[in-house]
Amino acid sequence: MRDALAGLAAMLVLAANAFATDATPSKALTVADLGPNDEVMALIAVTQGKDPLGSIVVRLHHRYAPAHVANFMKLAQEGFYDGTLFHRTGPESFVQGGDPLSRDADPSNDGTGGPGYDLEPKPNDKPHVRGAVAAASMGKMDSGSQFFIDLKDHPEWDGKYTVFGGVVSGIEVADRIGAARRKGERPIDAFTMRVTIEKRTKQLKL
């Protein structure tokens, strides 16, 4: 009996250790983890009030804007964007989000918040076409977290803002945010986001 109890106790210890190992959080994905055939996607799940609206899938341009993409990936995987709003819209022009202050009850401070730092602007050759994703400007610097999505081509913005991604699906979700009722530039309804990051391997053509 004593041997049987000892064996049972040993099995329970092993099971507990296995559970603890499985429960260990996976390592956050970084730009350094991406191979030559890898691409990184941001999945932005949007709710309107309490109702799911859909997801905006963004391919991040880690080769064109590595610092901005690395920062966006880091913040997203820390949950920084979860619960923030698309707080600013220009109908048929753009939608903007990523401000942590948009979570509070004071709309007057939306657009002024961030992670506590700004980024150096790094304009590149990516054009401001419909679906381009770029860092919001804070004057001489780029916001450390706020970004906007172009709802139409904006060639006049080429070279002025750091484009670090492009929408590959779900642009109609951004269109609905841009077309929603608003007061000034702020949507009346709360369009809340949750951002996750995925690595995908390009399918090579044979």
Residues 86-132 have pLDDT tens digits of 999 998 899 999 999 999 999 999 999 999 999 999 999 999 999 99
The per-residue pLDDT for 201 is: 87
Residues 140-171 have pLDDT tens digits of 999 999 999 999 999 999 999 999 999 999 99
20 pLDDT higher than 50: no
Which of 25-34, 118-127, 197-206 shows the highest mean pLDDT? Answer: 118-127
The per-residue pLDDT for 65 is: 97
Q: How far apart are CA 157 and CA 160, in angstroms?
A: 5
Average pLDDT over residues 9-27: 48
Q: Which of 191, 181, 193 is nearest to 91 (CA)?
A: 181
5 pLDDT higher than 50: no
3-state secondary structure 10-60: HHHHHHHHHHHHHCCCCCCCCHHHCCCCEEEEEEEEEEECCEEEEEEEEEE
The two beta strands, 86-90 and 94-97, are antiparallel
The per-residue pLDDT for 7 is: 52
Sorted by where each starts, the structural domains of the chain and their CATH numbers stand as 31-201 (2.40.100.10)
At 197 the three-state DSSP class reads strand
Residues 42-96 have pLDDT tens digits of 999 999 999 999 999 999 999 999 999 999 999 999 999 999 999 999 988 999 9
The per-residue pLDDT for 154 is: 98
Query: Global pTM?
Result: 0.85
Q: Please state, in angstroms and as integers, the Cα–Cα distance from residue 130 to each residue in 91, 123, 133, 181, following that order.
A: 13, 17, 9, 21
In this structure, what DSSP letter does residue 85 have? Answer: B
Tokens of 32: 């350094």
49 vs 25 pLDDT, higher one = 49
